[in-house]
A and B are shown apart, each in its own frame.
Chain A
Amino acid sequence: MRKTLPRAALGPLFALATAAHAAVMKPPVAPPSVPFTKATVIAGAQFFADHCSACHAVSNLRYKRMGADLGLTKAMIKKSFMKPGGANYLKGMRPAMTQAQAKKWLGLPPPNLSHMARALGPRFLYTYLTSFYWDPKRPSGWNNHVFPNVAMPYILAPWGGIYTKNGKLLVPGRESPAVFDRHVADVVAFLRYASDPSVFERRAIGRYVIGAFVLLSILAYLLKKDYWRDVHDKEADSHSQKSATIKPARKG
């Protein structure tokens, strides 16, 4: 445990990278398949805007872009997602907390989550968000199985409940485990979208692009077959009459 002290001092990235590595080696919670549709992303974005964006920025994702990708109007975005004061529709998702406040209250500024799902993978994020446990030795009172000595307090506890390190339920949450798991999966789906906002656009266009190339391939194949007919005819000739009387390959 003493060894983890300098690691915490080195900042969240190193610890996250190491934690991701550890998670690959031995996943403690079997991650479920994370549903990924516009509906789950919107549900996740809602939860994120209500709770996570108190501390976390998604600075690369502009509110306007989010509205366009998810099919939401400016009014809907303003009402449901632009919670922190001073949020600008044309700019990235910002946290309610300032960096100075975060440093004072939590010790470390919470990371920008724009690329987190791409960097760590949605499966890891899900496991991370469901692997917190009560640890009275930590200043925040929280610890995590896949991210030892994490600085983030477990804000999901009111929904998911409080567990000990051994998995004993101390205080039940207000949601059943099944409902809670789905909510976490929604948040992960939102983060996945936020790290790769072209995903819905890509999927919508992709089938037409592939269709066009398949069509091109079929036409090109028919053209090739037609052109190569005389090569194959010549071959048949040469087998019956020997090579002496072969027609020149090029006309004219």
Chain B
Amino acid sequence: MSKVIDWFNARFPAREMMREHMTEYYAPKNFNILYYTGSLLLLMIALQLLSGFFLMAHYVPTSQDAYNSVQGIMYDTKWGWLVRYMHVDGVSLIFILLYLHMGRGLLYGSYRNPRELLWVIGYLIYVLMMGEAFFGYILPFGNLSYWAGQVITSIIHAVPIIGPGLTTLARGGPGVGTATLERFLALHTVLWFLILAACIGLHILALHKVGSNNPDGIEIKDRKGADGTPLDGIPFHPYYTVKDIFGVGVFLTLFAAIIFYAPTMHGVFLERTTFFRANPMVSLPDVTPPWYLAPYYAMLRAVPNKYEGIVLMALAVVLPFFMPWLDRCKVRSSRYRPVYRFMILLMAVTFFTLAYVGEQPPLPKYFLIERLGAAIYIGFYLLLPIISRFEPTRPVPERVRS
């Protein structure tokens, strides 16, 4: 047996990769519950690929048959409902995990030197994921899919000069129809997904180059023992592999509870208007985005002018890319930065309030909340360079606390 393994390792760096990324990759020993999100996200992407494969095997990308083919999966295909609910609810869970994962990065300063590129690639994955979710959202071709497709592609229309041409290119014609479904399916399952998967690979490679941050924001590589390994580090395998298996167990329990007992999550994970067939003659009273994109939609609505609204929304999406350079404080973790910690909490509350408001019909009573929310969101990034330079900090311990 060992001869076979040696033969294999002489021809493929399996042993080296195992060492580099698992058994000799040292991770801080003080990871908390937020550090389960990374491995859970990887698991969820794999599950989406699996369920997506089965969905695509039954899906027909034409405006005539798309809706019925999805209903065929729900009514006539053995285990079809399981596969579709896995895929649909999986999206919402991926975004919950993404928000926790990114929130953790903000809380513990995981975007700081030397992890700038890690943050930028990670945030790029989030932006790509929004696109991936949008393409997938159109495919079942319920009435919400149709109108969401119309509204979102019409945003491109606002681009100066080439806007109208780009909109036609995105739709494959003057309106959302069969050509749109065909190209969105190709993007959703091939090109966009492969780019996304490649970025996830780059994200993990970048992480293993610089090493994981931790809740204390201390560099464990700065303190090494006699054998040259970090004193506060433990090998990823077996310690974090067994820990992550436990996390997977708990997470899958929750996932199963949603799939089997509340698959539409009361119209939040799977909206009611998706159960009407797409109909260009019947406009919806209000087209609202899924909850995970609603904050941006609320900010779009905060400005009455279409172009200014789109600029604000684009700014909201782009600003977090610059987080590593906006933060000027010497201390990383918000554990030792009370002012920054308050800012992060305010940001989280604002973001999810905007998500709620973005799901509501456009009533005047939400207008003030939308504007205030947008101001806090943008203000956070614009004021951070000034505040972080002068904010008070608490003494940072030399070793991680456990």
Scan residues 197-250 of chain A and give those whose CB is less than 8 A from a CB of chain B: 197-198, 201-203, 205-206, 209-210, 213-214, 216-221, 223-224, 227-228, 231, 235, 238, 243-244, 246, 248-250
- In the complex, the answer to whether B239 meets A118 with C-beta atoms within 8 Å is no
Whose C-beta in chain A lies nearest to the C-beta of B267? A121
The minimal Cβ–Cβ distance linking A88 to chain B, given in whole angstroms, is 14
Q: Which residues of B contact A249 (CB under 8 A)?
A: 26, 229, 233-235
Chain A, 6-60, CB within 8 A of any chain B CB: 10-11, 13-14, 17-18, 20-21, 60
Report the separation of the CA atoms of residues A17 and B144 in the bound assembly, to the nearest whole angstrom. 12
Question: Does B340 touch A at the CB level, under 8 Å?
Answer: no
- Residue ID in chain B nearest A215 by CB atoms: B249
Instruction: Tell yes or no: B238 within 8 A of A by CB.
Output: yes
- The answer to whether A13 and B282 have CB atoms under 8 Å apart is yes
Q: Is B256 an interface residue (CB 8 A)?
A: yes
Give chain B residues whose Cβ lies under 8 Å from the Cβ of A217.
246, 249-250, 253
| B contact residues around A14 at 8 Å (CB) | 282-283
CA distance A252 to B68 in the complex (A): 60
User: CA–CA, A238 to B233, complex, Å?
Assistant: 13
State in angstroms the CA–CA spacing of A197 and B73 once bound together.
Answer: 12
Asked if B264 CB lies within 8 Å of chain A CBs, one says yes
* Beta-carbon contacts under 8 Å, B240-290 to A: 242-243, 245-246, 248-250, 252-253, 256-257, 259-261, 263-264, 267, 272-273, 275-276, 279, 281-285
In the complex, chain A residues whose CB is within 8 Å of the CB of B222: none
Q: Does B47 contact A (CB under 8 A)?
A: no
B402 at the A/B interface (Cβ < 8 Å)? Answer: yes
Q: Determine the residue in chain A with the shortest Cβ distance to B284.
A: A17
Q: B75 in the interface, Cβ–Cβ < 8 Å?
A: yes
| Known interface pairs A119-B276, A206-B260; A198-B24 also in contact (CB < 8 Å) | no
Residues of chain A with a CB closer than 8 A to B23's CB: 250
- A152 at interface by CB-CB < 8 Å: no
Q: Is the CB of B225 within 8 A of A246?
A: yes
Contact in complex: A202, B263 (CB < 8 Å): yes
B82 CB contacts on chain A under 8 angstroms: 198
Residue of B nearest to A216 (CB): B249
Does B276 contact A115, Cβ atoms closer than 8 Å?
A: yes
* A213: contacting residue among B256, B264, B285, CB under 8 A: B256
Is there contact, CB below 8 Å, between A65 and B282? no
Contact assessment for A213 and B252 in the assembled complex, using a CB-CB cutoff below 8 Å: yes
- Is the Cβ of B261 less than 8 Å from the Cβ of A224? no
Across the interface, name the chain B residue whose C-beta is closest to A217: B249
A162 close to B (CB within 8 Å) = no
Q: Which residues of B contact A21 (CB under 8 A)?
A: 285, 361
Which residues of the other chain, A, contact B202 by a CB distance below 8 angstroms? none
Instruction: Check A227 against B238 for contact (C-beta < 8 Å).
Output: yes
Question: Would you call A228 and B239 a contact (CB within 8 A)?
Answer: yes
Give the docked Cα–Cα distance between A134 and B225 (Å): 87
Contact, CB under 8 Å: A198 / B249: no
On whether A250 and B235 interact (CB within 8 A), knowing A205-B260, A220-B245, the answer reads: yes
A203 to B243, CA, bound (A): 30
Task: Evaluate whether A221 and B260 lie within 8 angstroms (CB atoms) in the complex, with A11-B281, A231-B234 already known.
Answer: no
Interface assignment of A61: CB less than 8 Å from any CB of chain B: yes
B12-71 with Cβ < 8 A to chain A: 23-24, 26, 29, 71
Does the CB pair B29–A118 fall under 8 Å?
no
A130 close to chain B: CB less than 8 A: no
Residues of A within 8 A of B71 (CB): 60, 114-115
Q: How far is the CA of A246 from the CA of B227 in the complex (A)?
A: 10
Q: Is the CB of A62 closer than 8 A to any CB of chain B?
A: yes
Partner of A13, one of B143, B249, B264, B267: B143
Q: Does A144 interact with chain B (Cβ within 8 Å)?
A: no
- Bound Cα distance A214, B254 (Å): 10
Additional pairs, 19, CB under 8 Å, beyond known A213-B249, A219-B249:
A10-B282, A13-B276, A14-B282, A14-B283, A60-B74, A60-B75, A115-B276, A118-B272, A121-B267, A197-B74, A202-B263, A203-B260, A210-B253, A217-B246, A231-B239, A238-B231, A243-B231, A246-B225, A250-B229
Chain A interfacial positions (CB closer than 8 Å to B)? 10-11, 13-14, 17-18, 20-21, 60-62, 65, 114-115, 118-121, 195, 197-198, 201-203, 205-206, 209-210, 213-214, 216-221, 223-224, 227-228, 231, 235, 238, 243-244, 246, 248-250
28 of the cross-chain contacts (CB-CB < 8 Å) are A60-B75, A62-B75, A62-B76, A65-B76, A119-B272, A121-B272, A195-B275, A197-B74, A197-B75, A198-B74, A198-B81, A203-B260, A210-B256, A213-B253, A213-B256, A217-B246, A220-B249, A224-B243, A227-B242, A228-B242, A228-B243, A231-B239, A235-B402, A238-B231, A243-B399, A246-B231, A249-B26, A249-B234
Chain B residues with a Cβ under 8 A of chain A: 23-24, 26, 29, 71, 74-76, 81-82, 143, 223, 225-227, 229, 231, 233-235, 238-239, 242-243, 245-246, 248-250, 252-253, 256-257, 259-261, 263-264, 267, 272-273, 275-276, 279, 281-285, 361, 399, 402
